[in-house]
Structure 1
Amino acid sequence: MNSPDTRGPERLEASNLFYREPALYDDVQSDSDSARICRELIDRHCPRARTLLDFGCGTGRNLEQLAPHFDCIGVDLQPGLVDYAHRTRPKVDIRLGDMRSVRLGQPFDVLACLGNSLAYVHENQDIRAVFRTFAAHSRPGTLLVLCGPVAPIEHTEPQEARVATRLGPAKVTIHYEWDLRTQINTLRRHWLFDSGEEARDAIRRRVLGPRELELYGTLSGFDVAEITNESDAGPLIGPSAYIVACYRG
């Protein structure tokens, strides 16, 4: 899932292989449970919800799974992802827009921001702008479901994984970097496909701790109801979490 940092959509596309190859994102995330977890959290906290707006919807994969249950709209900053979503998921309403400034002129029952989308917004003033956008599409009782990193990944050794994609099997090697001053967790990836083709990219994510997220929410009119690793309540262990908040107005 994708949303803005201060570098703009062109530089983001150059830095992230998924932005250049949207089908690859769908392949790698094919086993993601985000849509299911999101729906279970909605059922728990706002069971009568009928409308949903997804910020940073990317290829529309989660929206496609949520659309049978809600009247959905998705917004994403990346033109390439939006074009891909229009071609592959034409029945899903996906629009080009920046979550810092987009205004659709109507409130929704549920606002979703999944797949680390908020983590691509790095600066404090931009994060505040995103929460103002959330508030602008809310009415009292609107539910906000966020998913993002709440703690850094700090592996000292590179991590390797095998992934199956429509471009062929690949070995992905990831190096992690953590900058405490900026709270940016950088993932540098080297893709080596069995065909011999190689690619490199870098993902930069802002890590916001639970108390920070509560503060941003409170200042924008949202009361946090739950912070959980998945849809089942339990001790928060990170590095990612789902944050559920209700708009008080």
Structure 2
Amino acid sequence: MNARRYRAVRAVRHPRPRNRPPLTTGPGHHPSYMNLADNNIAYRHPDLYDALTQDSTAAATCQHLINHYGTAPAGSVLDLGCGTARDLAALANSHHCVGVDLQPALIRHAQQRYPALDLRAGDVRTVRLNDTFDTITCLGNALAYLHHNDDIRAAFQTFAAHAHPGSLLIIVTQIAPTVAATPARGRVDAAGLGADVTTEHSWNPRTQIATVHRTWQLDDGTTEHDLIERRILFPRELELYASLAGFTPLALFTNGQNHTGPLIGSTAHFAATYNSF
């Protein structure tokens, strides 16, 4: 089974931990986005999260884009939705890096693993660090968990708030649904966990939500049911949201070796530069 398919798994709802901060509600704040840690087997087990995404080439692709489009090849990087910060740690070899993630448990895990990194808990829609960066990244389909247009606009406003003229924005997100007529079955043995996994896909074109239902039959006899719901942002939508926030689109590609070729995958890299208004 391809481990890369398991990035940002979202599982069935579990009781909220007592030390979890209350949800922020009101206009533009949708609780569904706030429950990833409660509803995600991989997020509940950060070592599993890292193991399932260990073949990620995100950091190398980001560095290539920085070298090609950026104004500061060794400048500062802000990663919004940094998860366990593995990609950010790779970039920190040549950049001053700051990471932000919604889930305090992942930030704590990352701080223990990468104590030299500047890592903070925060919401991509509302966080303000009162600083600008040469490169802003939002990787791992983090943007896809914002299902509503106003939340997506808020995220792009956050990108702009941390940009200066010439700042490079790099987003990795789904631009097309994964459609499969029959369930996929595979095996996961990682981070001390063994399971037979069944995955099914569905697609709602009205809401542009692609849903993955995943069942984990664990070797200890227990079962986990995961639910992944991602908002698909089509290429022209990405360009529009970026342009409205003051960014000029530069590239959109699904093949890291061919930035101008046909879009043949469901997940894309999008790059844009900030011009302000």
For 1:239, which of 266, 271, 274 is the aligned residue?
266
- The answer on whether the counterparts of 1:176 and 1:187 sit within 8 Å (CA) in structure 2 is yes
User: Which amino acid letter does the alignment assign opposite residue 49 of structure 2?
Assistant: Y
* Structure 1 residue 121, shift from structure 2 partner: 0.7
Show structure 1 runs of 5+ residues with no match: none
Q: Matched residues in 2 for 1:202 and 1:159: separation?
A: 15
Counterpart in the other structure of 1:17: 41
How many aligned residue pairs are there? 248
* Structure 1 residue 236, shift from structure 2 partner: 1.3
Deviation string, structure 1 residues 214-246 (Cα, Å, up to 9, x no partner): 000010000100001133222211201000000
- The answer on whether the counterparts of 2:102 and 2:123 sit within 8 Å (CA) in structure 1 is yes
Following superposition of structure 1 onto structure 2, how do residues 11-90 of structure 1 map, counting pairs within 5 Å? Answer: 11-46=35-70, 48-49=72-73, 50-90=75-115
3-state SS in 1 of match to 2:153? helix
User: Which amino acid letter does the alignment assign opposite residue 264 of structure 2?
Assistant: I
* Structure 1 residue 51, shift from structure 2 partner: 0.3
3-state SS in 2 of match to 1:112? strand
For 1:121, which of 143, 146, 161 is the aligned residue?
146
In 2 relative to 1, CA 188–142 (structure 1 residues): closer, same or farther, beyond 3 Å? same
* Structure 1 residue 103, shift from structure 2 partner: 0.5
1:201 has 2:226 as partner: yes
- The answer on whether the counterparts of 1:41 and 1:231 sit within 8 Å (CA) in structure 2 is no
Show structure 2 runs of 5+ residues with no match: 1-6, 9-23
- The answer on whether the counterparts of 1:37 and 1:230 sit within 8 Å (CA) in structure 2 is no
Following superposition of structure 1 onto structure 2, how do residues 77-226 of structure 1 map, counting pairs within 5 Å? Answer: 77-226=102-251
Structure 1 stretch displaced more, 41-50 or 60-69: 41-50
- The answer on whether the counterparts of 1:82 and 1:94 sit within 8 Å (CA) in structure 2 is yes
Higher relative contact order (CA 8 A, sep 6+): 1
Deviation string, structure 1 residues 48-81 (Cα, Å, up to 9, x no partner): 2310000000111111111101100000001111
User: Which amino acid letter does the alignment assign opposite residue 45 of structure 1?
Assistant: Y
* Structure 1 residue 47, shift from structure 2 partner: 5.6
Q: Matched residues in 2 for 1:162 and 1:185: separation?
A: 23
- The answer on whether the counterparts of 1:27 and 1:164 sit within 8 Å (CA) in structure 2 is no
In 2 relative to 1, CA 180–154 (structure 1 residues): closer, same or farther, beyond 3 Å? same
Structure 1 stretch displaced more, 213-222 or 163-172: 163-172
- The answer on whether the counterparts of 2:165 and 2:275 sit within 8 Å (CA) in structure 1 is yes
User: Which amino acid letter does the alignment assign opposite residue 181 of structure 2?
Assistant: T
- The answer on whether the counterparts of 1:177 and 1:187 sit within 8 Å (CA) in structure 2 is yes
- The TM-score normalised by the length of structure 1 is 0.94
- The answer on whether the counterparts of 1:77 and 1:96 sit within 8 Å (CA) in structure 2 is yes
Deviation string, structure 1 residues 169-228 (Cα, Å, up to 9, x no partner): 322211111111111111111112334343221111100000000000010000100001
3-state SS in 2 of match to 1:227? strand
Deviation string, structure 1 residues 79-100 (Cα, Å, up to 9, x no partner): 1111111122222211000010
Q: Matched residues in 2 for 1:105 and 1:10: separation?
A: 23
3-state SS in 1 of match to 2:140? coil
Q: Matched residues in 1 for 2:185 and 2:31: separation?
A: 28
Q: Matched residues in 1 for 2:215 and 2:145: separation?
A: 20
User: Which amino acid letter does the alignment assign opposite residue 12 of structure 1?
Assistant: L
